[in-house]
Amino acid sequence: MGTGPTSRPPQRVVVTAGARGIGRAIAERFLEEGARVHVCDIDAEAVAAFVAAQPQAGASVADVASVADVERLFGDVAARLGGLDVLVNNAGISGPTGPVETIDPADWNRTVAVDLNGQFYCTRLAVPLLKASGRGAIVNIASNAAFFGFPLRTPYTACKWALLGLTKTLAMELGAFDIRVNAVCPGSVSGPRIEGVIEREAAARGVSAERVRESYLRQSSLRRFVDAREVAGLVAFLCSDAAASISGQAIGIDGHTENLSSWL
């Protein structure tokens, strides 16, 4: 699916924060479909483990919040892949949890640096490569928090809302070059990251982690967390020929969120 007709060469794909979690699931899905994949991650040990498991993939240790790191990343991409067809802006952090008056400005700035600035830094260097390829796709990983508010998570939620504006604007700006831009908005995805979010929210609210976990589950009509492989499947679809007319969309993959009011 992701590689398109057999006459077309394999897609060249960059996945940020691609050595762990959702990013790794996305990278592995593209590899399964025959794409040439390059990932980056801030965690050098995770990068080494990913390359050991997927020796056909390329990888760079990079912090997307650093302009210099992103420039080095795309130097690696150009050297290894010789061009680009797909950028998946997956890198993001959960940020601090607590009432807005307790948020340390340093934590706010770090969240914005990774979750918003990092996507801009990568996109600005990816676009010339995508234009040169004659067509392409960008997928920004946002969150279903971008459809609602998310009390106690102000930096994270503000960034995810901003990503929808970035996605819509880029779709308009790049459509004439046959570059499609979409946002994928997962709900709670199973894994260590959501467990950390739950623990921090439980501490902020003074309740048990199990109570918070149950409240998260009740927010979804399907009453379960999302599997990272489901997110990977949606991303691969959006970058395939089957989605050739899909651009500028914010697509939820969250089991249908009913509300985010369980914090009250």
Q: What is the pLDDT of residues 83-117, one digit of tens each?
A: 999 999 999 999 999 999 999 999 999 999 999 99
Cα separation, 31 vs 16, whole angstroms: 15
More confident residue, 212 or 18: 18
Decide if pLDDT at 263 tops 50.
no
Q: What is the CA radius of gyration of the chain?
A: 18
Which CATH number does 12-253 carry?
3.40.50.720
Decide if pLDDT at 219 tops 90.
no
More confident residue, 17 or 257: 17
CA distances from 130 to 47, 123, 152 (A): 25, 10, 38
CA distances from 196 to 201, 215, 253 (A): 9, 15, 20
Count Cβ neighbours within 10 Å for each residue of 66-93 and write b for 16 or more, e otherwise. Answer: beebbeebbebbeeebeebbbbbbbbbb
Decide if pLDDT at 234 tops 80.
yes
**Lowest-confidence segment of 116-125, 170-179, 212-221, 245-254 by average pLDDT:** 212-221
**Lowest-confidence segment of 154-158, 211-215, 236-240 by average pLDDT:** 211-215
**Lowest-confidence segment of 83-92, 170-179, 196-205 by average pLDDT:** 196-205
**Residue 261's pLDDT is what?**
52
Of the pLDDT bands very low, low, confident and very high (cuts 50, 70, 90), residue 194 is confident
Hey, how many other C-beta atoms are within 10 angstroms of the C-beta on 256?
12
**Residue 200's pLDDT is what?**
83
Q: Tell me if 182 sits within 8 A of 139, measured CB to CB.
A: yes
**Residue 161's pLDDT is what?**
97
Residue 181 burial class via C-beta count within 10 angstroms: exposed 0-12, middle 13-18, buried 19 and up:
buried
Q: Point out the residues that are catalytic.
A: 156
Of the pLDDT bands very low, low, confident and very high (cuts 50, 70, 90), residue 7 is low
Q: Mean of the pLDDT values across residues 140-150?
A: 93
**Residue 203's pLDDT is what?**
86
Q: Mean of the pLDDT values across residues 202-227?
A: 86
* Mean of the per-residue pLDDT values of the chain: 93
**Residue 260's pLDDT is what?**
58
Q: Tell me if 60 sits within 8 A of 43, measured CB to CB.
A: no
Per-domain boundaries in the chain = 12-253
For residue 96 the two structure tokens come to 């601090």
